[in-house]
Chain A
Amino acid sequence: MSTTTNTGALDVVDAGATSLLRFATAGSVDDGKSTLVGRLLHDSKSVLADQLEAVERASLGRGQETPDLALLTDGLRAEREQGITIDVAYRYFATPRRRFILADTPGHVQYTRNMVTGASTAELAVVLVDARNGVVEQTRRHAAVAALLRVPHVVLAVNKMDLVDYAEPVFAAIAEEFTTYAASLGVPEITAIPISALAGDNVVSPSANMDWYGGPTVLEHLETVPVVADPSEDPGRFPVQYVIRPQTAEHPDYRGYAGQIASGVLRVGDAVTVLPSGRTSTIEAIDALGQAVDVAWAPQSVTVRLADDIDVSRGDLIAPTATAPGVSQDIEATICHVADRPLKVGDRVLLKHTTRTVKAIVKDIPSRLTLDDLSQHPAPGELVANDIGRIVVRTAEPLALDAYADSRRTGSFLLIDPADGTTLTAGMAGNAFAEAAAEAAPADAADDEGWDF
């Protein structure tokens, strides 16, 4: 298919060459996050005339002379009244090279849970720093959350370079400090970019004011960062969502297991194990939304048929026998508590892991993490909103759980209040930060159980 510009819809429809990047932004209140987001949206022509007019009208209406671009992103009455962002918003924009879903997360300390929300599905996080202030407590917090959630790529955007005379040493010192800190947490890839969101330096166009900088602009980096990992390196994981049984004259015996491949690759002929029961079979067929295929991979939604008529239902996990995970009723995890009511030892909760929801009891809360300096507070007794801590949970039924370090999809879970369904915590099984962090920052004396934050 031709890929010349604007030759008509067939090219546009031939979307095989376009990819999607999900990313999140994080920044403190006055770091200029709204300006950066506004410029990305504006310069990629994603702000349309009627939206700009609405912002201009609203700005004039409250006596401002120039349009307040923050009104583009702050959509709720309370946000506009208070001039703050209270919740994650999702934005969409595109360039000829890639499409983007931006989770625009609030910078306030009390909304750490919202950055966790935005980062949980992000492949890249942009952390904003004011060049005049350098790396501050909030910057370390954002780096730690990105590391904790295992966001594969982190961009440090050193903003307001225009206010420090575009001086290279200022940028270099901040980049050095941040990179050292983030690497110690196990962040695999860090790209530092000096920008001025207000003046437009290095956001979409290269800056004429910083010819000492030879790297990509923010947008160029977003467009080229690799987003497709090689799923063939990961073990196959297929949580069963729904059993499809038409029982019609045309399909009297069809029995398919519908789900979205959580990781790895599935092939017709694979020997598989169904967990937690441990029964084994072979993949007889894979239907990729109406089309029979020999191979399918994460994150495709497919329907799998097995050679043997064994008992499989929603909540089960199908995995290649050779790489099937173990099952356990005792889970150690790092969590971010996201609800206003605290989580206490002894709480009876529901645990949702992939497509399976089971009863569980919080057996222990060994420690709470202080994100600012990564120190641990042993035996805090409870975790409150925005806390990050270690917990031990006992489940009523065995779960096939991977370490979050190995799979964001099969290593994550929710704790839910059984009384009213409130989402209590975001859970990540296994060690919180990558091995590099454990080695670089050995646990303190109070931690005799080897919790590796």
Chain B
Amino acid sequence: MTTVTAVTGNTEDANNPYALSHLDSLESEAVHIFREVAGEFERPVILFSGGKDSIVMLHLALKAFAPAAVPFSLLHVDTGHNFPEVLDYRDRTVERHGLRLHVASVQDFIDRGELRERPDGTRNPLQTVPLLDAIDKNRFDAVFGGGRRDEEKARAKERVFSLRDEFGGWDPRRQRPELWQLYNGKHSPGEHVRVFPLSNWTELDVWQYIAREKIELPAIYYAHEREVFARSGMWLSPGEWGGPKDDESLETRQVRYRTVGDMSCTGAVDSDADTIEAVIAEIAVSRLTERGATRADDKMSEAAMEDRKREGYF
């Protein structure tokens, strides 16, 4: 069986003193993208959720500008249903690197009556409005996202520099051709550019890089005992967001998270992978994508991601 673990090298390349490993190639490319944005935009911001992709993005930005500080602030779109471990991680990271954090709160919009809670209780689709509001109010002109093309088929079509109109919308038919490494960041007032430095990374690349660079993650990425209940084929965590219902019962299981998002739609997977080595080994043989395994919002329709992106989502 052909596995996706890359453990043996191409001899010819390995003997070439100028060969770069695939992780070095991806790192070099991502750093180039960060520096292009720093050179061409006035007010860039990094979307930071405390999830592994945004953590890797921040790590790359720190390396790109060392020994100077990262010339960007962070923006977190807080659904109000975040894992407490992740919020704690977020705050410690901001503190440690002396960064500035903007928080766009879904709860605030609901409290003010500008957003309405959905009947299913999930708040992930509600993030778009506070995100676009924060971009507008802070006049951000470049917004880094941790999206990867391997995540989802609509994302597979997205450019590294993705122009968004004044409504934040993405029009796949109007994308600029992206040629060589010549990223075109030109935009009109009111428009902004979403930038995806991890476009060419896969989930496995991200984990290998985290291991190589010894990057700390929120503990919920590793196997731990947790009270969960089953809904729509996923293990969800109980919380004030509205779970479990009367007919759903809690049980204690050994689980971990492959993605981190809104608690109402991010499921845990059964796992005893409690170290990064074990996590990588588990992903390498998994027959499910991370979104397929743990994200309810992508299952809403065949084009759920494309539709949300057209609205301004990442």
Contact = CB atoms under 8 A, between A and B. Distances in A.
A-B complex is real? yes
Interface of A: 3-13, 15-20, 43-46, 48-51, 54, 58, 72-78, 80, 86-99, 101, 113-114, 116-117, 120-121, 223-224, 226-228, 230-232, 241-242, 244-246, 248, 250-251, 254, 258-260, 265, 287, 289-290, 297, 299-301, 314, 338, 350, 352, 354-355, 408-409, 412-414, 416, 420-423, 426
A142 B208 CA distance: 36
6 contacts: A12-B284, A18-B6, A45-B1, A74-B153, A88-B157, A289-B63
Nearest to B62: A290
Contact of A299 (B20, B154, B292): B20
B38 interface: yes
Contact of A289 (B39, B64, B280, B281): B64
A73 B64 CA distance: 33
B289 A96 contact: no
Contact of A15 (B22, B65, B153, B173): B22
A36 B35 CA distance: 37
B156 interface: yes
A12 B203 CA distance: 13
B31 A413 contact: no
Contacts, number: 280
Contact of A16 (B4, B14, B36, B184): B14
Interface in B126-183: 149-150, 152-154, 156-157, 163, 172-173, 175-182
A63 to B, nearest CB: 15
B121 to A, nearest CB: 23
A338 B276 CA distance: 45
B156 A90 contact: yes
Interface of B: 1-10, 12-14, 16, 18-29, 31-32, 35-36, 38-39, 63-69, 149-150, 152-154, 156-157, 163, 172-173, 175-182, 184, 186-188, 199-200, 202, 204, 208, 211-212, 275-281, 284, 286-289, 292-293, 302-303, 306
Given A15-B212, A96-B2, A227-B13, A246 B302 contact: no
A76 B172 contact: yes
A49 B287 contact: yes
A230 B16 CA distance: 8
A114 B157 contact: no
Contacts of A5: 3, 5, 7-8
A414 B180 CA distance: 10
Contact of B180 (A7, A95, A121, A251): A121
Contacts of B20: 19, 228, 299-300
